[in-house]
Chain A
Amino acid sequence: MDSALALHRFQFAFTVTFHYIFPQLTMGLALLILILKTIALRTGDELYHDSARFWAKIFAINFAMGVVTGIPMEFQFGTNWARFSRAAGGVIGQTLAMEGVFSFFLESTFLGLFLFGEKRLTPRGHWFSAFLVFLGSWLSGFLIIATDAWMQHPTGYRLGPNNEILLDSFWGLLFNSWVGWQFVHNMLGAVVTASFVMAAIGAFYLLSGKHLAYGKAFLRLSVPVACISTILMLFPTGDGQGKNIALSQPVTLAAMEGLFNTREGAPLVILGQPDMEKARLDNPLEVPRMLSFLTYRRWKAQVRGLDVFPKQDWPDNVPLLYYSYHIMVGLGTIFIGVTLLASWKLWRGRLFSSKGMLWVILALGPFPYIANTAGWMTAELGRQPWLIYGLMRTRDGTSHQVSAGNTLFTLIGFMGIYAILILLFLLLVYREVDHGPRHEPPVTP
């Protein structure tokens, strides 16, 4: 791969991965804050109003980071992927422009009201501003997923006389058959992140012996939400996505599952390292025939391996794809186990006194970020070598007149700025968590 292509790819991957750290918490937390506000309105319990205000402070810091790291993303399609943009802009430009016109305006204007307008609004009005922030952020998620789904599985288009891509159906674009599972899977992933973070903070307070009433409230809400969402991530949404991949990107399925050779009754690999030279997995730990069953619901079904696809159509980094996928599934499985146990303890009234469990919840707090990142890496590495699946290869989509030197300069710039930003983010969030929720009237701007 020439260095300019590698740098364009790496810069986009780096900036989008860093950016997505923040929207996943924003989208999940917007839902949890809405639930807190709903409980507060229904019960009139000040504890829930205070909890909502506490989480709003963390939400504000996180949202600001999401905004500033998100701006480069919209422009990077043009700066580094000009040939792709020229070809596909008429299609995906629609979803990206809609994101700006609908979601971003909605989130940004009502966030201001949510954070600083509590005094000026009625309690219902304030609840409604929280609802609109939630709606705006989830709409954003939908439109980005629609964009990615089109790149993974292009629909709603036809080819013109010079093979140019022409948008043919607006609804076909928005309701691509991939969008359903991909959207729900992605949003649940965000809910997992937010619920794990809230649970971790709740556990932190109980273990530190302070803000106990709040800690318990956070755990009571987040643990069941975490449990439900992690299970749904596996089934039906993860399974649904897997089926789409099997149908439309069979070479990707083979690569992510480490299936080098076509097999009837193909096994599901739990562990094992892909050796690309020898075309096999080292020290595999497998569940016999499970992959055939999961993919086709028949134990003896034939699953195609990498061997039947031309090498030029293989994802260009099979091991990284394989590991991303297995990290995601591995973590997801651990999450299900832990949250089931925690939910059971909560139901039996034993969670708050269970130090071991609280420590596990605290330690697991950051891991959904890794799982979500691994999931996106699976999707995007799996799409390779295509930029638009079946239509345009990644190497044909770059800005060919932007040299490797310029791209390296901007990549280093981003890495430096983001290193500073993540330290600031952690510092400011830590201070809020350390200060804790308190009973006080709403802030004025």
Chain B
Amino acid sequence: MEVIWFWLVAVMIVMYVVFDGFDLGAGIIHPCIARTEAEKRQVLRSIGPVWDGNEVWLLAAGGTLYFAFPALYASAFSGFYLPLMIVLWLLMARGISIEFRNHIDSPVWKPIWDSLFSVSSTLLAVFFGAALGNVVRGVPIDMNGYFFEPLWTDFRLGKESGILDWYTVLVGLASLLTLTTHGALWVAVKTDGDLQFRSRRMAEITWWGVVGSTLVLTLVTFQVQPHIPDRLKQEPWGMIFPVIALTGLAGVRWYLHKKEDTRSFLSSCLYILGMLTSSVFGLYPYVLPSNSDSSLSLTLYNAAAPAYGLRVGLVWWFIGIFLVSVYFIYTYRSFAGKVQTEESGGY
């Protein structure tokens, strides 16, 4: 039961990063590639009808984490208090800037929201990466299963770790490069003309960054969290996850070269899937490792809710996710195709 939910929560987190990741990416590249008012509206329209539904994956994943692993939810959310609050504020800023930007046609109003849109999207990409870095690196969990980390201490790894240290910042940067590429590919799919050309170009450049950061980060992570390479030695079938990631990474480049944007974007989805599942596989059975005493780590077993709740949850969860898939397929198909360039109300 616990193992099933461990993977289901992981799937929901992957869904969130794949879907809202391109919303964030669109925000990150917005100031660079959209030069005119019409182009800015186009970028916004490419995510406009779907960003809110995409963001719901985060809430659904959080809620699922709450009922399946309440000790992890309680420990992680209170321990990461300040950065989590900052993430909440950034999510608010991102959402408001998308929804309110086009309400007033003014050269004072719009640039405020454009800036807020790109700054909040950028910081969110970095913070989410740093969050993953913290989970991989481990945190100072006490005997009661709780911890509290300040935003930073001395940026070094050690007993007195901070949320931001050189490792987690590195993961944050890798996340930024990944989501920038991901967003650029989505915008390329949804637009044409200059906008598409610039998005493709952006993805081509940042792809190199993703390659570099993947290499560096893999090597560094093996040092920082030796449990991960141990896992690969114990269960070599787990190599499938990094292989998926690398296939995706190669696919991005291959299809960009052939100007097949949709396949390139889907390869990016595959890369994200592979990277996140590699982390999850590598950490198993830990859900939140301790960076001091490994007996204090939270595992999927000691953090899980009792069996009855997990069993009952499976029934409604599958029904729910089936419905969600139907809605998503329906919505994305309804809004398929290139974003129109004519001026109109709404986005």
Contact residues of A with B, CB < 8 Å?
60-61, 64, 67-69, 71-72, 74-75, 77-80, 82-83, 85-94, 96-102, 104-106, 108-113, 115-117, 120-121, 160, 166-168, 170, 399-402, 406, 409-410, 413, 417, 421, 424, 428, 431, 443-445
Contacts and interface: CB of A to CB of B under 8 A. Distances in A.
A302 to B, nearest CB: 41
Contacts of B77: 75, 77-79, 82, 85
Q: 8 smallest A-B Cβ distances: which pairs?
A: A89-B70, A93-B67, A78-B77, A97-B63, A100-B60, A93-B66, A112-B49, A399-B78
Given A444-B344, A445-B45, A445-B49, A100 B63 contact: yes
Given A90-B309, A93-B67, A112 B78 contact: no
A67 B20 CA distance: 15
B63 A74 contact: yes
Contacts of B230: none
B335 A445 contact: yes
B61 to A, nearest CB: 8
Contacts of A74: 59, 62-63, 66
A80 B306 contact: no
Contacts of A104: 56, 59-60
Contacts of A431: 103-104
Contacts of B320: 98, 101-102, 105
Given A399-B78, A428-B103, A112 B63 contact: no
A402 B63 contact: no
Interface in B67-115: 67-68, 70-71, 73-79, 81-82, 84-85, 88-89, 91-92, 95-96, 99-100, 103-104
B327 interface: yes
Contact of B308 (A89, A116, A166): A166
Contacts of B335: 112, 116-117, 445
24 contacts: A64-B99, A64-B100, A68-B92, A68-B96, A71-B58, A77-B73, A93-B305, A97-B66, A97-B313, A98-B63, A100-B60, A101-B316, A101-B317, A104-B59, A105-B323, A109-B330, A160-B306, A168-B308, A399-B146, A401-B79, A402-B148, A428-B100, A431-B104, A445-B346
Given A90-B70, A93-B67, A105 B89 contact: no
Contacts of B345: 443-444
Contacts of A121: 334
A100 B62 contact: yes
B290 to A, nearest CB: 15
B53 interface: yes
Contacts of A82: 74-75, 77-78, 146
B60 to A, nearest CB: 4
B91 A444 contact: no
A68 B53 CA distance: 13
Contacts of A409: 82
Given A105-B56, A417-B92, A96 B67 contact: yes
B242 interface: no
Contacts of A94: 67, 309, 312-313
Nearest to A110: B327
Contacts of A112: 48-50, 52-53, 331, 335
Interface of A is mostly: helix
Nearest to B60: A100
B74 A86 contact: yes
Given A68-B91, A79-B85, A105-B56, A444 B63 contact: no
Contacts of A406: 81-82
B317 A89 contact: no
A123 B208 CA distance: 48
- Name the residue among A77, A86, A109 with the largest chain B CB count within 10 angstroms: A109
A82 B72 CA distance: 10
Given A115-B49, A117-B335, A421-B92, 14 more contacts: A79-B85, A89-B66, A92-B66, A93-B68, A94-B313, A97-B64, A97-B67, A97-B68, A99-B63, A104-B59, A105-B323, A166-B308, A402-B148, A431-B103
Nearest to B321: A101
- Among B66, B91, B335, max chain A CB count under 10 A is at B66
